[in-house]
Every structure is written in C-alpha cells, then in structure tokens.
C-alpha cells in the first residue's frame, strides 16, 4: 500500500502509517534474525521497539536502528544468534503530532535439533 503524497499532505502532516508490516517470525535458537518495519510519516516520528512493555535498546546481541529517506522510515531490530529467552511479542510504536501507530510482531524461537548419524561398516 503506497500512495503518492501531495504537497498539501506534507504541509498538513501525515500520521505514522505502516507501508510494510512485519510478519510473525519462526526461527531456530542461534539464528541471526531481523525484524523490519517500514512506515511513512510527516513530521518525523518517534519510533520505539518494546519487548514485554520495556523499550528495546542496542545491547549484547541486539542492534536497533532506524533509517530515513524523506518521509519514509525503516526501523529494524537485528539479533545476532537469537536466544530462546528472547522469544515473545515485540511491539513497534511510531508517533508524531499527527497520530500514533503500533504493530505487534510475535517471535517464536525453537530449539535447534542436531541429527547425528552413524555409519556402520562391517
């Protein structure tokens, strides 16, 4: 869903509107995982990620970053070797003076299964 913005829209402002909504992630423990969300907003929105109602910040194996191009924004959480304890619902909140938008992204982390086979030679 993308529409051309007119000059009037930009002068009046655009509430945060998600142009690409992230889908639920089903990953294996130890995988590198990226949660990505794209949105449009004028003026620039404040974008925060939350996990269990606590803001997510860059630390240990997590990098949170937001890039912009004019009034288009891309915000990501990048997990290096995600852990089982990081499973759950992540929420992205984008707000500016025109409004607020939120999306929940479920992340399910499975245990990696190793299969060992033995070759028996007689």
Please check whether residue 80 lies inside any domain of the structure.
yes
- Flag whether pLDDT at 8 surpasses 80: no
For 43, the domain range is: 21-109
| Phi, psi of 31, rounded to the nearest 5 degrees | -75, 155
Please check whether residue 7 lies inside any domain of the structure.
no
Of 2 and 60, the structure prediction assigns the larger pLDDT to: 60
Q: Pairing state of beta strands 25-28 and 99-110?
A: parallel
Question: 61: domain CATH number?
Answer: 2.60.40.10
Please check whether residue 119 lies inside any domain of the structure.
no
Please check whether residue 46 lies inside any domain of the structure.
yes
Please check whether residue 13 lies inside any domain of the structure.
no
Please check whether residue 2 lies inside any domain of the structure.
no
Percent of the chain with pLDDT over 90: 75
Please check whether residue 5 lies inside any domain of the structure.
no
pLDDT value at position 50?
A: 98
Please check whether residue 40 lies inside any domain of the structure.
yes
pLDDT value at position 16?
A: 97
- The count of domains in the chain is 1
The pTM of the whole model exceeds 0.85 = no
pLDDT digit string, tens, across residues 61-87: 999 999 999 899 999 999 999 999 999
> Mean pLDDT over all residues of the chain?
88
């Amino acid at each position: 869903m993308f529409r051309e913005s007119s000059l009037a829209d930009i002068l009046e402002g655009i509430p945060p509107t998600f142009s690409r909504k992230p889908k639920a992630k089903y990953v294996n423990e130890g995988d590198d995982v990226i949660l990505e969300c794209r949105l449009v907003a004028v003026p620039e929105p404040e974008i925060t990620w939350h996990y269990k109602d606590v803001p997510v910040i860059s630390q240990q194996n997590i990098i949170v970053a937001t890039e912009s191009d004019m009034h288009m924004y891309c915000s990501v959480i990048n997990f290096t070797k995600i852990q089982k304890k990081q499973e759950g619902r992540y929420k992205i909140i984008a707000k500016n003076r025109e409004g607020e938008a939120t999306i929940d992204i479920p992340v399910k982390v499975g245990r990696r299964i190793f299969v060992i086979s033995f070759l028996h030679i007689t």
